[in-house]
Amino acid sequence: MQLDPLVFAAIAGMAVATYFTRFIGYWLVRHRTVSGRLAGALEAVPGAVLTSIIAPMALATGPAETAAAALTVLLALRLPLIVAVAGGCLAVVALRALIG
Amino acid sequence: MTPSDFDRRGEFAAGAFTILPLLVAVVPFGLLLGTLAAQKGLSPLEVAFMGATVFAGASQFVAVEIWTAPPAVALLTATALMVNLRHVLMGAAQAPHMRGWSRGTAYGCLFFMADEIWAFALRRGAERPLTPAYYLGLSLPLYLGWVATTTLGTIFGGVLQDPARYGLDFAFTAVFLTLLVSLWKGRRTFYPWAAAALAAVAAHELLPGVWYIALGGLAGTLVGAWQGPAVLREATDAA
């Protein structure tokens, strides 16, 4: 078990940078009334960020991933979250074996 | 036990129960990150320290990927900043749900704002007031699980070589897809999401690293700004 000083500095730098990104958005909107275009923008953030994280995997990796993504959405319309997630993971294994 | 203690415990338990399925999905990724970090020469103590202070999976994977001995401190710091830029938008979106929280509670809870916790917190906030106890119920199991599994992965490096074999590399995509289904509000959500998806896929093809998340998020947010808020639009349509 060792903690090298330069390693410590690197991790501390990462930690400070990450916490900065986490509080600054909240800090910026904290004391102002949010309306108009800013409200429209903030309303769009959750879906836009989630979509961006998954879009390359769901749409641009291969037919197996895209088909499994579509199946996950269909399952999520009817069934509990965990069932849809498990179904999607099983589907991606099966589809990769079948169609690559 | 006062009624408010009871409420707090109930809220914490509700949050913890919500995050449990995701904790299962996090275990293999924590073990994998630990394994990769061990191969780069990081000690279990260093990996535990990183998990406990950074607590941001994507940026930790990127950091381990570009890790050198000795580490490039400025490069690692700047990369963590860029990879996590999406948090700025996320924090702004979460702010309206944190009205009435004390300043210390708010800034303390924001430390835990990982993608999954944020997404579940916003879903809760859409249904009923978001409480700090619920937020910590979401956060602490995932936080402890993350620190524990990354550290264990470093100690027992090589336990998990290939999560893709079990479809686990698809688990986060599946989780986020189910969250998107619950956020869907028809045409209003279609345009920002389509813009985000297009920009993210294009950026993923053309740019290195994880710029695609920030650029896709920005594209969707700009379309949202152009659309304006829901309430204002209804008022304008009525007038």
Tell me, letter by letter, the H, E, C secondary structure of chain A.
Answer: CCCCHHHHHHHHHHHHHHHHHHHHHHHHHCCCCCCHHHHHHHHHHHHHHHHHHHHHHHHCCCHHHHHHHHHHHHHHHHCCHHHHHHHHHHHHHHHHHHHC
- Please name the residues between 40 and 59 in chain B that touch chain A, using a CB distance below 8 Å: 42-46, 49-50, 53-56, 59
In angstroms, rounded to a whole number, what is the distance separating the alpha carbons of residues A24 and A66?
35
Query: In this predicted structure, what is the pLDDT of residue B65?
Result: 77
More confident: B138 or B170? B138
Query: In this predicted structure, what is the pLDDT of residue B97?
Result: 94
- Give the domain range for residue A63: 50-100
Q: Is B102 on the interface with A (CB under 8 A)?
A: no
Q: Check: CB of residue B167 under 8 Å from CB of residue A90.
A: yes
pLDDT tens column, B132-148: 999 999 999 999 999 99
Q: Using 50, 70 and 90 to split pLDDT, how confident is the model at A67? A: very high
Q: What is the residue-averaged pLDDT of chain B?
A: 87
Residue B60: CB atoms within 10 A of its CB come to 26
Residue B34 in this model has a pLDDT that exceeds 80: yes
Query: In this predicted structure, what is the pLDDT of residue B236?
Result: 44
Residues with Cβ within 8 Å of A78's Cβ and at least 6 positions away in sequence, in order, are none
Residue B229 in this model has a pLDDT that exceeds 70: yes
Domain count, chain A: 1
Query: In this predicted structure, what is the pLDDT of residue A40?
Result: 84
Residue B95 in this model has a pLDDT that exceeds 90: yes
Structure tokens at A75: 């399952």
Contact B85 A21 (CB under 8 A): yes
Determine, yes or no, domain membership for A92.
yes
Q: What is the residue-averaged pLDDT of chain A?
A: 89
Query: In this predicted structure, what is the pLDDT of residue B239?
Result: 37
Q: Worst-scoring range by mean pLDDT, B35-44, B133-142, B230-239?
A: B230-239
Mutate: best of A3, A8, A26, partner B, most B CBs <10 A: A26
Residue A19 in this model has a pLDDT that exceeds 60: yes
Q: Check: CB of residue B232 under 8 Å from CB of residue A36.
A: yes
Determine, yes or no, domain membership for A20.
no
Query: In this predicted structure, what is the pLDDT of residue B191?
Result: 95
Determine, yes or no, domain membership for A45.
no
Q: Which residues of B touch A52 (CB under 8 A)?
A: 86, 196-197, 199-200, 212-217, 220
Share of residues in chain B with pLDDT > 90 (%): 51
Residue B233 in this model has a pLDDT that exceeds 60: no
Mean pLDDT across B5-30: 88
Task: Fill in the DSSP letter of residue B186.
Answer: T
Determine, yes or no, domain membership for A17.
no
Query: In this predicted structure, what is the pLDDT of residue B163?
Result: 66
Contact B177 A76 (CB under 8 A): yes
Q: Worst-scoring range by mean pLDDT, B24-33, B43-52, B137-146?
A: B24-33
Shortest alpha-carbon distance between residue A70 and chain B (Å): 9
Report the sign of the C-alpha dihedral through residues B113, B115, B120, B124, in that order: positive
pLDDT tens column, A78-94: 987 778 888 998 999 99
Contact B181 A77 (CB under 8 A): yes
Q: Using 50, 70 and 90 to split pLDDT, how confident is the model at B158? A: low
Q: Using 50, 70 and 90 to split pLDDT, how confident is the model at B151? A: very high
Q: Worst-scoring range by mean pLDDT, A4-18, B168-182, B215-229?
A: B168-182
Q: Which of A23, A75, A22, A21 is nearest to B175 (CA)?
A: A75
Contact A10 B98 (CB under 8 A): no
In angstroms, rounded to a whole number, what is the distance separating the alpha carbons of residues A51 and B77?
26
pLDDT tens column, B56-75: 987 898 788 778 888 989 88
pLDDT tens column, B98-128: 999 999 999 999 999 998 999 999 999 999 9
pLDDT tens column, B180-220: 897 788 888 999 999 999 999 999 999 887 788 889 989 99
In angstroms, rounded to a whole number, what is the distance separating the alpha carbons of residues B60 and B135?
23
